[in-house]
Structures are given as structure tokens and as C-alpha cells.
Amino acid sequence: MSFDVLQDKIKEKKNPTVAGLDARVEYVPPSILKKHIDRAGETLEAAAAAVQEFDCGLIDALADVVPAVKPQAAYFEMLGWRGMKALEEITAYAKSKDLFIIADVKRGDIGTTAAAYSEAWLGSIQVGSTSCPVFDADCVTLNGYMGSDAVKPFLEDCTKRDKCAFVLAKTSNPSSKELQDIVAGDRLVYTVMGDLIQRWGQGTEGRYGYQALGAVVGATHPSVLKELRRRLDRTFFLVPGYGAQGGTAADVRSAFDELGRGAIVNASRSIMCAWQKTGKDGSDYQDAARAAAEKMRDEIKRYVTIL
């Protein structure tokens, strides 16, 4: 239950990292984009097809290196319904390669609206007597500003369907301090949120001792990672901010428990855009992405041994 499926895949691949699928049109190698524009013009249709070909190519290249992929909904939403159709197909494709799917949606709404989001991303939609799955990811990211009302419907789907979710606690971006670092009694706002996350998840522990509700804690704040790891002992961490944003392997070490479990580190641009640094204009994007993902895995392995 809960994060067991993900932790099992991490152990199997000996790799506690997730590759972000965050492709803006500009990140797609020029030859792929050109092919689709030649066919369909400078349209959202062409852009969505190019992103889909690129993402599926990345999935092929990474499938035996990483345990999970994390599509970022914004980059599909920005292409309208054609982007969302691509996302449905990319998700299904990644699943066919036995990858764990973290849908990075950061949704946060209440009541029946939260239930609608949960049905979309983790559950399925009832039409008459037929149950229709939609994106059917394994895991989502959530924003808990509105409180437990925003989380409960997801937690119910997680429990029913052996899935899980991450809620933002302390994010990796510079302005996260504006609200998250505000002093609230003897805690900070992100600690309050962390405590809420662990409380909301109570009773959903899996085999590894982690609850179905995890927390997002950025790699750019190593001391916070350490503090929250100690404080939230049943909370699995998703750690963004590695690489491009400045987080290092040494920084993320403290996200893991003493058995090297309980966390997964994300990298997006450093893998996806690795082709931009090899001088081959994207013809080697798969090899470049794979090499970057292996490098990241090996860097983290120097600090973390997964038991």
C-alpha cells in the first residue's frame, strides 16, 4: 500500500530518482519539431505531436534506468486539448514500460471539486453505468493551502487503488520563503504544513512504514530536508531542485532514512535538455538523456545506499 509500489521500483532499479517530462516546445530537438510543423503547420497540433514524440523517445531511453517519470501538467495544458490528449497517451505509454507515473499537477481545491481532480488523475469517471479512467497516474502532487478538504478525496482514491500523493511543504524556489518561512509560534509555516501532511496521512502506512501522503521538500534547502526527515518519520519525500536549481547529491542525502529509503529526487531539464550540450543539434537526445540520468543515479549512489 501507499508508497510501496514506488519504493519497490526504486529498489529494483537501484535508483531513487525520477525524470521530469516538462517539455516546452523549445526543448524538443529541432528536427522533430520541424517534421511536425511541415505536416501540420505552426499549430498547437504540431507542437503537441512533437512533444509527444520527444517524451515517448525519452521514455524509451530512460525506461531501464529510472523507476519513475513525472510529467508536468502545465506543459501539456499549454497546448490545449491536444496537449492533454498527448499527456493521456504518454502516460499510458510510460505505464506500458512499467514506469511509475507521478503527475505533477499541484492541484488544490475542495469538496466535489477535489474529488473531480482525484477522479481525473488517480481514479476514474462514472458515465452512466460505465467507469472510465482518464489520466490514471500512480501518484499526484497537491497543494494543501486549503487544508484537509483539498486532500481527503485523493487519500480515499489512494487507499482504494494503492496510489499515493505528495503535498507541497517546503518548495525549492527562491520565493518559497515569502510564506513558507514565516514564523508561526514555535514553528515555521512549512513545518506546520509538514505536520499537517503527516497527520492527514495517519493510518495509511505501507510495508516500508511510509504513509500514502508524502511531502515535497526542495533540494535547495539541505538543512530543512534534514530537519523535516527527522520530524516527519512516516512521510515519503519528493525532492525537486536537483541540478539546474543548485541541489547536489550531498544536499539530498539527508532526505533518505537510514536504510536509504523514503525519498525520490527529481531532475527535469538536466536530463531532458542534455542534448543541448553535446553539439549534435538533438540527433542524440536519447543517448544524452540516458547518460545524464545514469550520471545523476551514480552521483546519488555515492551518498545513498538503498537497502
Residues labelled catalytic: 106
Residue 86 vs 255, nearer CB to a second copy: 86
Say how far apart CA 295 and CA 37 lie, in whole Å: 33
| Helix/strand/coil for 100 | strand
Question: Contact between 116 and a second copy (CB under 8 A)?
Answer: yes
Query: Where does this chain touch a second copy (CB under 8 A) — which range of 93-101, 147-155, 254-262, 287-295?
Result: 147-155
Find the binding residues for a second copy in span 194-253 (CB under 8 A). 196
Total residues interacting with a second copy, rule: CB under 8 A: 72
Grid cell of 78 as nine digits = 499549454
Question: Contact between 186 and a second copy (CB under 8 A)?
Answer: no
Say how far apart CA 80 and CA 100 lie, in whole Å: 25
Query: Where does this chain touch a second copy (CB under 8 A) — which range of 9-17, 53-61, 111-119, 283-291?
Result: 111-119
Residue 63 vs 142, nearer CB to a second copy: 142
Closest CA to 164 of 63, 260, 68: 68
Near a second copy by CB under 8 A: residue from 31, 39, 97, 173: 173
Question: Contact between 143 and a second copy (CB under 8 A)?
Answer: yes
Residue 34 vs 207, nearer CB to a second copy: 34
Near a second copy by CB under 8 A: residue from 8, 35, 93, 110: 110
Q: Is 277 exposed, middle or buried (0-12, 13-18, 19+ CB in 10 A)?
A: exposed
Near a second copy by CB under 8 A: residue from 16, 29, 67, 144: 144
Residue 95 vs 301, nearer CB to a second copy: 95
Find the binding residues for a second copy in span 8-47 (CB under 8 A). 22, 24-25, 33, 37, 41-44, 46-47
Please report how close the Cβ of residue 172 comes to a second copy at its closest, in angstroms.
Answer: 8
Handedness of CA 252, 245, 166, 179 (dihedral sign): positive
C-alpha pair distances (Å), 281 with each of 26, 27, 49, 164: 12, 11, 19, 38
Question: Contact between 161 and a second copy (CB under 8 A)?
Answer: no
Q: Which long-range contacts (CB under 8 A, 24 or more apart) does 41-50 make?
A: 44/79, 44/80, 44/82, 44/83, 45/82, 47/79, 47/82, 47/83, 48/76, 48/79, 48/80, 48/82, 48/83, 48/85, 48/86, 49/82, 49/86, 50/25
Near a second copy by CB under 8 A: residue from 12, 39, 160, 182: 182
Question: Contact between 128 and a second copy (CB under 8 A)?
Answer: yes
CA dihedral 181→185→187→193, nearest 10 degrees, is -80
Residue 129 vs 307, nearer CB to a second copy: 129
Query: Where does this chain touch a second copy (CB under 8 A) — which range of 62-70, 128-136, 204-212, 285-293?
Result: 128-136
Say how far apart CA 136 and CA 152 lie, in whole Å: 18
Find the binding residues for a second copy in span 272-301 (CB under 8 A). none
Query: Per this entry, what is the length of the chain?
Result: 307
Query: Where does this chain touch a second copy (CB under 8 A) — which range of 143-151, 250-258, 271-279, 283-291?
Result: 143-151
The identity of residue 271, as a single letter, is I
Find the binding residues for a second copy in span 40-99 (CB under 8 A). 41-44, 46-47, 72, 74-75, 77-82, 84-85, 87-88
